[in-house]
Structure 1
Amino acid sequence: MATTLMFIMIGLLLLGFPMMIPLTTAALVGFYMMFDGFGQNTTFIQQMMGGIRPASLIAVPMFILAADIMTRGQSANRLIDMVMSFIGHVKGGLAISTATSCTLFGAVSGSTQATVVAVGSPLRPKMLKAGYSDSFTLALIINASDIAFLIPPSIGMIIYGVISETSIAELFIAGVGPGLMILVFFSLYALIYAYRHNVPTEPKASWNERGKAVAGALWPLMFPVIIVGGIYGGIFSPTEAAAVCVLYAVFLEFIVFRELKLPDMYRIAKSTGLITAVVFILVAVGNGFSWIISFAQIPQAILEAVGVNEMGAVGVLVSICVAFFIACMFVDPIVVILVLTPIFAPAIAATGLDPVLVGILITLQVAIGSATPPFGCDIFTAIAIFKRPYWEVIRGTPPFIFILIFSAALLIMFPQIALFLRDLAFR
């Protein structure tokens, strides 16, 4: 059965069908094989509905809506201006500013693709003009944008938290340390690149200009303060934080900055609705598919065949990293989380691994896979936004992928990189 489902999914993917079609087809075929027909099809429908029933998932469309509002408004540009005013003049400062801006906007939006658009669009022309190669620039943008998977709010963490019944608040705070660590590594690589290629520096901003830039960015900087401070101050839950985030984004872009007008809200809501529909279809079908493979005991068979249960805690973590990394090179990250998390659940429980640490590693692997050839989703976002050929977009990615894999290894060896803030806040 497992072989049949795998061939169905791979075959339909190769034929060019969107991910929801292979996943749905494989789930229906699996259901038919198990129950000898569709006489009990209400069971499958109930499982699909159960996948989108958790109240925590309400946060997903809210964060998508907030990110869309900010992408079309001034928040991203004001954050970029503030970062540039302080570090734009140092060697490699423009590249470091790009990585930092991606991290900050990720902390505001929680969306990698929104970050590619919001930060990459204004900064890529500046980096090219400063002397950075286009392959390095594109690779930096798509990989630094993936820090948004780790810095709260993270849509990937919300999906994992719902599937694994792990505290989303704990996942959010645990992602801060690894996200900042990766930013430091990317900045060091940008510094080395700038010295090796003798990239000129930008003019140094005066303290008056810096003061104006900080003043302009104060409003957008309140997003992470509201989200993180509100959640860990006990004011509201992660789901309620998403609603507050939308309200604040509307207040900021429509009333304070006056960048958007009321008619813009229709286009924003339409875009958010389309993205949300795709996400929730994937979550519903993914939950049904996960139930089928669990009912058929496919996860246990796979883990026993590979010998994961005998590997110990470190072996399980390495296996998880490899499986998620490879899967996200070909398949949408949300689908990978939905399908693979239940497969590894028995091994995670048997070895007593901290589900928060596992969630951070899974989120990191999803981030790596999203920017890794051949089918990383952020690669195609960059192709669509910047109108550049596929090979040029992926040519500069290997050093960044190495940095991300090295970061995953550090997390396995030193879990407190992720768990220190979690333990500080919740233990």
Structure 2
Amino acid sequence: MLISLLVVMIVLLLMGFPMMMTMLFSTLFYMIFFMPDVETFTSVQQMVLGVQSPVLLAIPMFMLAADIMCTGQTSKRLLDFVESYVGHLPGGMATTTALTCALFGSISGSTQATVVAVGRPVRQRLLENGYDDSEVMALIINSSNLAYLIPPSLGMIVYGVASGASIGDLFIAGIGPAILILIIFSIYSAFYAKAKKLPSLKKASGKQRWLATKKCLLAFGFPLIIMGGIYTGIFSPTEAAAAAVLYAIIVEVGIYKSIKLQEIYNIALSTGVITTVVFILVAVGAAFSWIISYARVPQLIAEGILGNDPSVLTILLVVNIFFFIGCMFVEAIVVILILTPIFVPIASAAGIDLVHLGIIVTLQVAIGSGTPPFGTSIFTCSAIFDQPYLKVIKNETPYIAMLLVACVLVSAFPGISLFLGSLTQ
């Protein structure tokens, strides 16, 4: 039965069907041939149930806030602020890029939005400071991965819905791994700059830093609203997302005046198109996950791959491998929706914290978005800079290696993810 399901999926993919249609047709095929006593309309019920969670409303809201920020001035102000404090250090411009991506991630929660918003202004600055263009694009792509770890992460929201884990706990748990990756990237950037004899920027004066900070103060309101609102109990994650949109409009339209009020309609329309695709994937993924459970896929993997009584590290190793390979070929949300229902029962039975598991999943999904052959951030970068695919991925290997090292550390030491959350309890 399971082999038939896989064969149908592979055939449909080879025929050029999009992933949402592949999952839907595979679900219907399985129900018709292996579940004759179950009415096919049950699949529709499962799809409706899959998008009924109120938490999913946070996704279009955070995406809209990110789109408004991309169109406005926030990303440039963040870049100027970070550069004034760390630009003079060895590899300071590269560190500036990574840290700015992390800060913008606290607004957008999207790797692709971060590539666009931060990549455009930072690329020219890096090239002017002697960086090779392929190195610059590799840095931008992999630094944007931090947006998936810094709240509000869209990947964490989808994982939380699929697994039942607390989205608020996932948000705070992503901060520790993000800081770890920032440190690793900064060390590498310093060594790279010294090896290539790249010049450092002139150290900013106290006045310049103050001006950059003053211009960026409003941008700091986003993480304050999102995280502060959630953890003080003022907002739920969904309400925080709506507040972020309102704040984005006030800042960009009313204060910065970088966007006209009439432009919000077109920005919202663009967000709506992307949101539609996401929700269709979530709905179809819910029906497909139901089929996976019916086919006893988690039990088969536990028995056939993990064996009897697998250790926690063995389970986490298999999770890392499955998600890493999956995200190299398939869009992140699809991978989360397909694989999470498989591994959550196994991890729960072994006593693995679902928040810790979620951070590992989110990190692997982030890595996958920038990993060849089909990482979505690669194609985003190629499109906005009009550069060939091979040039974009040329210097990615060191960054992917560093991210995998970070994933090993996060997997082996749960405290990296769970420490901050334990302080709030």
Q: TM-score range by the shorter chain?
A: over 0.9
Contact 2:298 2:346 in 1 (8 A): no
Correspondence list, 1:326-337, <5 A: 326-337=325-336
How many angstroms does 1:36 deviate by? Answer: 3.4
Displacement of 1:24: 1.8
Matching of residues 104-119 of structure 1 within 5 Å: 104-119=103-118
Q: 2:373 aligned with 1:377, yes or no?
A: no
Structure 1: stretches of 5+ with no match in the other structure: none
TM-score, scaled relative to structure 2: 0.97
Q: Match of 1:25, as an amino acid?
A: F
Q: Map 1:91-130; keep pairs closer than 5 Å.
A: 91-130=90-129
Per the alignment, residue 83 of structure 1 pairs with: 82
Pairing 1:3-82 to 2, within 5 Å after superposition: 3-36=3-36, 40-82=39-81
Is the Cα–Cα contact under 8 Å of residues 149 and 174 in structure 2 kept in the other structure? Answer: yes
Is the 1:34–1:296 contact (alpha carbons within 8 Å) kept by the matching residues of 2?
no
Q: 1:16 to 1:202 in 2, by over 3 A?
A: farther
1:101-134 deviation per Cα after TM superposition (whole angstroms, max 9, x unaligned): 0010001111110000000001111111211111
The 8 Å contact of residues 103 and 145 in structure 1, kept in 2 or not, is answered as yes
- Is the Cα contact below 8 Å between 1:74 and 1:253 reproduced in 2? yes
Q: Is the 8 A contact 2:306 2:314 kept in 1?
A: no
Are 2:86 and 2:95, in contact at CA under 8 Å, matched by a contact in 1? yes
Cα deviations across residues 58-105 of structure 1 (Å, max 9, x unaligned)?
101100010001000011110001011111122211111011100100
Q: Distance in 2 between matches of 1:254 and 1:12?
A: 46
Report the equivalent of 2:161: 162
Deviation at 1:263, TM superposition (A): 1.9
Q: Which amino acid aligns with 1:311?
A: P
Structure-1 separation of matches of 2:411 and 2:186: 22
What is the aligned partner in structure 1 of residue 296 from structure 2? 297
CA distance in structure 2 between the partners assigned to 1:420 and 1:260 by the alignment? 40
Q: Distance in 2 between matches of 1:330 and 1:292?
A: 22
In 1, distance between residues paired with 2:157 and 2:173? Answer: 13
Contact 1:78 1:216 (8 Å CA) reproduced: yes
Question: What is the match of residue 311 of structure 1?
Answer: 310
**Is the 8 Å Cα contact of residues 308 and 319 (structure 1) preserved in structure 2?**
no
Q: Structure 1 residue 351: deviation in Å?
A: 0.3
> Aligned runs of 1:157-196 on 2, under 5 Å?
157-196=156-195
Q: Do 2:306 and 2:315's aligned partners in 1 also have CA atoms closer than 8 Å?
A: no
User: 1:297 deviation in Å?
Assistant: 1.3
Shift of 1:309: 4.8
Matching of residue 272 in structure 1 with residue 277 in structure 2: no
Which whole-Å CA distance do the structure 1 matches of 2:259 and 2:233 have between them?
32
> 2:262 aligns to what SS in structure 1?
helix
Structure 1: distance between partners of 2:243 and 2:308: 43
Aligned 8 A contact 1:146 1:370 in 2? yes
CA distance in structure 1 between the partners assigned to 2:124 and 2:15 by the alignment:
36
Q: 1:302: how far off? A: 2.6
Whole-angstrom CA distance in 1 between matches of 2:170 and 2:290:
24
Please report the RMSD computed on the Cα atoms of aligned residues, expressed in angstroms.
1.3
Q: What pairs with 1:384-395 in structure 2 (closer than 5 Å)?
A: 384-395=383-394
1:307 maps to amino acid = L
Q: Which letter does structure 1 place at the counterpart of 2:110?
A: S
Deviation, structure 1 residue 413: 1.9
Number of paired residues?
Answer: 425
Aligned-residue offset at 1:7: 2.7
Q: Is residue 324 of structure 1 aligned with residue 351 of structure 2?
A: no
Q: Deviations over 1:278-297 (max 9, x none)?
A: 00000000000000111121
Displacement of 1:338: 0.5
Deviations 1:9-63 (A, max 9, x none): 23333444332122222222122222239x7122110000000001110101100
| Aligned-pair identity (%) | 52
> Do the aligned partners of 1:308 and 1:315 also contact (CA within 8 Å) in 2?
no
Q: Secondary structure at the match of 1:352?
A: coil
> Per the alignment, in what secondary structure is the counterpart of residue 221 of structure 2?
helix
Q: 8 Å contact 1:48–1:288 — kept in the other structure?
A: yes
Cα distance between partner residues in 2 of 1:154 and 1:192: 30
**Unaligned segments of structure 2, at least 5 residues:** none
**What is the TM-score with the length of structure 1 in the denominator?**
0.97
**Cross-structure match for 1:366:** 365
Asked whether 1:2 is paired with 2:11, we answer: no
- How much has 1:174 moved relative to structure 2? 0.5
Conserved 8 A contact 2:2-2:295: no
Distance 1:382 1:13, change over 3 A: farther
**Letter aligned with residue 29 of structure 1:** F
| 1:89 match: secondary structure | coil
With 114-123 and 206-215 compared, the bigger mean Cα shift is at 206-215
